[in-house]
Amino acid sequence: VAPISDPTPSEPGSAGSPAALVKFLESRAATFQSSEKDGLAWLEIASADVRRSLVTRGLPARLAEGTPPILTPNAGIIKLQGSKDLTVQAVEARADEIFTSEGVKIISVTPESGRVSIAVERPVRQVLHTEQVLLSYMQAFATGNLGEKLFVGTREENGQPLLLDPFNQPHTLIAGITGSGKSVLVQNLILTIAATRSPAEAHIYLIDPKFGVDYRPLDELPHVRAGSNGIIDDSDRKSVV
């Protein structure tokens, strides 16, 4: 991550302004649009296949009113109008047969008020690129409706952003097995803060017992310089902080 030459947000168009960053993210995000278009095309076909498969097996399959199919990174979610015949148990009982005969893999069936939500596995999982998700967050943040909430990830159940409110959760523990993405999550949280707040508004203190291996690219962020003045990776500096 290159240092922001002038982080003052009151100068739109400067190298470090939010406007310049949004423009850069837009240009980068545009290169990944084909993946999303392919996903939406698949979702339309998958939705029709699921409904046809259910109807041929004697189950009603009317889309819930006002709820179009939802595309998430791992699945397509089709919400159908519930009835005495279309229940979670009825769909689950036919899931294996639908997969073996139609090639449509139902990975979960969830009850909702007056609806049955069916998740169908995507044949090719979508890779979430930082440029796309950060751009989406910054556009929402610019409306002023998010307050101090930070972007954590994308919800699998509806494809919407998952936000963290640091004022309600000032201490957060991130746990997971090796390779599960803990460091990537923390990196993205730091980038979210740096992209939407000036160094005067946010001082970032980075303490890394692994000698900065995971966070070295963030070392030159002006927010980190204003906070811990670089990554703290020795015990003497840790005790001072």
Could you list the beta-strand ranges (E) of 32-131: 70-71, 75-81, 106-112, 115-121
For the ranges 32-36, 46-50, 202-206, the lowest mean pLDDT is seen at 32-36
Burial class (CB in 10 A: 0-12, 13-18, 19+), 117: buried
Q: In this predicted model, what pLDDT tens digit does every residue of 160-170 receive, in sequence order?
A: 788 888 888 77
Top mean-pLDDT range of 59-63, 159-163, 206-210:
59-63
Q: In this predicted model, what pLDDT tens digit does every residue of 158-202 receive, in sequence order?
A: 667 888 888 887 788 888 898 888 888 888 888 888 888 889 988
Question: Contact, 39 vs 122, CB < 8 A?
Answer: yes
Phi and psi torsions of 48, nearest 5°: -65, -40
d(CA 138, CA 149): 11
pLDDT band at 131 (very low <50, low <70, confident <90, very high): confident
The residues that bridge with 75 in the sheet, in sequence order, are 121
Its pTM surpasses 0.75 = no
pLDDT at 124 over 60: yes
Q: What does the longest C-alpha to C-alpha distance in the chain come to?
A: 71
Predicted pLDDT of residue 212:
62
d(CA 220, CA 236): 21
Phi and psi torsions of 99, nearest 5°: -65, -45
Question: Contact, 61 vs 80, CB < 8 A?
Answer: yes
Predicted pLDDT of residue 3:
32
Counting residues of the chain whose pLDDT is more than 90, the rounded percentage is 32
